[in-house]
Amino acid sequence: MTDKPDASGKHPASYEKHHERGDNMAPYDKPEWGSDVMVDVLRGLDLRYVALNPGSSFRGLHDSLVNYGGDAIEMIEVPHEKIAVALAHGYAKATGRPMGVILHDLVGLLQGTMGVYYSYIDRTPVIVLGGSGPAEHDRRRPNIDWIHAANVQGEAVRAYTKWDHEPRSLASVQTVLARAYRIAMEEPRGPVYVALDAGLQETPLDAPVDLSDLPRLAAVPSPLAPEPTALRQLAEKLCAARRPVLVPSYAGRDPQSFFTLVELAETVGIGVVETHWRLNFPNRHPLNVTGSAVLEDADCVLFVDVKDMGKPTQKLESTTRTISSKLAPGTTVLDIGFNDVGISSWSEDYAELLPTDLSVTADTAIALPLLLEECRAVVAGDDDVRAAERQAWRDDLAGRHDEVWAGWRAKADAKRDEVPVATSRLASDVWEVVKEHDWVLTAGTAAEWALRTWDFDQPYRHPGKQLGTATQIGISLGVALAHKGSGKLVVDLQPDGDLMFDAGALWVASRYELPLLVVMFNNRAYYNDWEHQERLARQRGTPVARAHIGMAIDTPAPDFAALARSFGWWAEGPIEDPDQIQDAVRRAAEHVLATGTPALVDVICQPK
């Protein structure tokens, strides 16, 4: 039985009913193979999608997903394993829910490792599955099953997954996958890897496998709450400060925290400096002083779910790698978050350890509302003098906010008519179109100019900033998948260098009709590294004019619009005249919203 979509693309009622939690345990037919049991478990975990590039090591699971699972778990075919993981990464960032990824044996796992690593450092729950083996050597095909297999396959990603395992029997599949799901979803979240033996997949069932305990096995434990006395002390220190500043990173993974942080900042009178790992605070709020020198004037800094305390609080002289602190001596440093929970012995993404006066270990989704209540109680006891001091700091912060935004506008205005298109002009002209709709920005911010131009007024507007090159287009696919059918305009300000890594990702958006508007931030260079070479050339006295060697994406210049059209996209460009941007982006947006299919506008930009 396969409930396939009709000509309109809609699934029948039985498919939608099957997606409801509690109904998805009932199989369409009686399971006959080991892989059928695996599909029943995955359905029981309420996975809606699985991304994969085909591989023979999971041919049994593939067949069961297609023919036994009845499309309950929709299969997303991708041209590369790294894109598969990145897509799941983006989906998890946008929804807070995991999706599955299947990687072929050892070789597919190795292709997907960068995607797994970025999911790990970005704390996203991804259920990575792999075909393996068969572990029984006498069932292996000569040569191919040997060169694609490994002794404990999870070793390849163990240093940057939260957990890995290989179930040895069909009875253990549900306990292993249930534990993997729990671990991926427990905060701080992250990817897990489970290798599913090819022989086990293809083993005929000789007896039923009882999955009735799966809902209780997979139940995610309650979040980590703060120690009450420590939280009260933190509230007292924060409220006692005359010039407090708050630095959030991952708090925005919980949408409600976006609003709780606003209440906390307004109640106490706290300036907020965003890191953009998640969208934590509205960028146009007067207490958002990102881009100002406020940290240098603070007498108290509160880190909220921050892994890297150094980057927002340190000055860097890039050429000499010289680091100094922005914080004045004697600044009180407070912290609430996961601290060393789940810290890696391998990846140093936790960054430098900063001295703190008080650290409270807790999930901020639980702790922030409690902290807000503690602070309200303290502030309620303010006398008139203290209340006036708080208001004076709020007014000071609002003035800094206005000054920063005025400076950004002045910079943008000065470069408005330049050719190639200034990055600020790209961001502002795209905003003139985007603001007419209910929108989501996927990842990249065009060198932060979207953050200086657009109005990020809701937590779903942005799941978090871009990561390294060769991650953004895959993550953007996942964000678009998460919002498919929502009516939201999903926008990707897409760097050219990133798309060059994963051009095949464009096929995925077209094949699965993802509502994605891509506007190319195309400076025809890997400019981040080009800039590094220019700095070193100046330091060493070598020719700056030769810094472009090995950096340019030119001669020939890629035609991204033609590339997109070859994959079935609506596309326009390349555009060099800044006065043509708005009209082209508006046409593209209208196409995406009218058809639900992707569109691309290629804009030739300045390096920064």
pLDDT digits (tens, 9 = 90+) for 105-117: 999 999 999 999 9
Query: Tokens representing 168?
Result: 């040895």
Give the angle subtended at the CA of 556 by the CAs of 554 and 562, to the nearest 5°: 105
pLDDT at 37 exceeding the cut of 50: yes
Give the span between the Cα atoms of 500 and 9, in whole angstroms: 31
Q: What does the pLDDT read at residue 14? A: 34
Give the span between the Cα atoms of 266 and 287, in whole angstroms: 8
What is the mean pLDDT of the segment spanning 266-292? 98
Q: What does the pLDDT read at residue 22? A: 39
Closest-CA residue to 44 (of 212, 273, 220, 232): 212
Give the span between the Cα atoms of 62 and 136, in whole angstroms: 21
Give the span between the Cα atoms of 283 and 280, in whole angstroms: 9
Q: How confident is the model at residue 19 (pLDDT cuts 50, 70, 90)?
A: very low
Residue 597 C-beta-side C-alpha neighbours within 13 Å: 13
Q: What does the pLDDT read at residue 486? A: 96
Query: Tokens representing 459?
Result: 């937590």
Average pLDDT along the chain: 92
Q: How confident is the model at residue 12 (pLDDT cuts 50, 70, 90)?
A: very low
pLDDT at 232 exceeding the cut of 80: yes
Identity of the amino acid at 443: A
Query: Tokens representing 489?
Result: 């305009």
The total of other beta-carbon atoms located within 10 Å of residue 261's CB is 26
Q: What does the pLDDT read at residue 279? A: 98
Q: How confident is the model at residue 411 (pLDDT cuts 50, 70, 90)?
A: very high
SS3 517: strand
pLDDT at 385 exceeding the cut of 70: yes
Pair 52, 101: CB distance under 8 Å? yes
Angle between helices 423-434 and 384-414 in degrees, nearest 10: 110
Give the angle subtended at the CA of 359 by the CAs of 358 and 364, to the nearest 5°: 130
> DSSP letter string over 355-378?
P-SEEEES-HHHHHHHHHHHHHHH
pLDDT tens digits, one per residue of 77-87: 999 999 999 99
Q: What does the pLDDT read at residue 17? A: 34
For every residue of 187-241, which 3-state class applies, written as one string?
CCCCCEEEEEEHHHHCCECCCCCCCCCHHHHCCCCCCCCCCHHHHHHHHHHHHHC
Contacts of 245 (CB under 8 A, 6+ apart): 270, 271, 272, 273, 289, 294, 295, 298, 300, 301, 302
Pair 326, 314: CB distance under 8 Å? yes
Q: What does the pLDDT read at residue 29? A: 74
Q: Where are the alpha helices (DSSP H) in 307-363?
A: 310-313
Percentage of the chain modeled with pLDDT above 70: 95
SS3 543: coil
Sort 308 into a burial class: Cβ within 10 Å, 0-12 / 13-18 / 19+.
Answer: middle
pLDDT tens digits, one per residue of 423-480: 999 999 999 999 999 999 999 999 999 999 999 999 999 999 999 888 999 999 999 9
Q: What does the pLDDT read at residue 608? A: 62
Give the span between the Cα atoms of 305 and 248, in whole angstroms: 6
pLDDT at 3 exceeding the cut of 70: no
* Phi, psi dihedrals of residue 495, rounded to the nearest 5°: -65, 145
Give the span between the Cα atoms of 510 and 78, in whole angstroms: 11
* Phi, psi dihedrals of residue 10, rounded to the nearest 5°: -90, 145
Pick 21 or 159 by higher pLDDT: 159
Q: What does the pLDDT read at residue 586? A: 98
SS3 603: strand
Counting runs of H as helices and runs of E as strands, what totals does the chain give? 23, 18
pLDDT tens digits, one per residue of 176-193: 999 999 999 999 999 999
Give the span between the Cα atoms of 526 and 499, in whole angstroms: 11
Q: What does the pLDDT read at residue 317? A: 82
Residue 426 C-beta-side C-alpha neighbours within 13 Å: 32
Identity of the amino acid at 62: H
Q: What does the pLDDT read at residue 72? A: 92
What is the mean pLDDT of the segment spanning 223-233? 97
Distances (CA, A) of 499 to 113, 441, 462, 502: 18, 17, 20, 5
pLDDT tens digits, one per residue of 532-587: 788 888 888 898 888 878 777 788 989 999 999 999 999 999 999 999 999 999 99
Strands (E), 124-184: 127-132, 163-165
pLDDT at 513 exceeding the cut of 90: yes
Q: What does the pLDDT read at residue 28? A: 57
Give the span between the Cα atoms of 431 and 427, in whole angstroms: 6
For residues 54-82, b (16+ Cβ closer than 10 Å) or e, as one string? Answer: ebebbbbbbbbbeebbbbbbbbbebbbbb
Pair 29, 4: CB distance under 8 Å? no
Q: Does 188 sit behind a cis peptide bond, omega within 30 degrees of 0 on the bond before it?
A: yes
pLDDT tens digits, one per residue of 323-352: 888 899 999 999 999 999 988 888 888 888
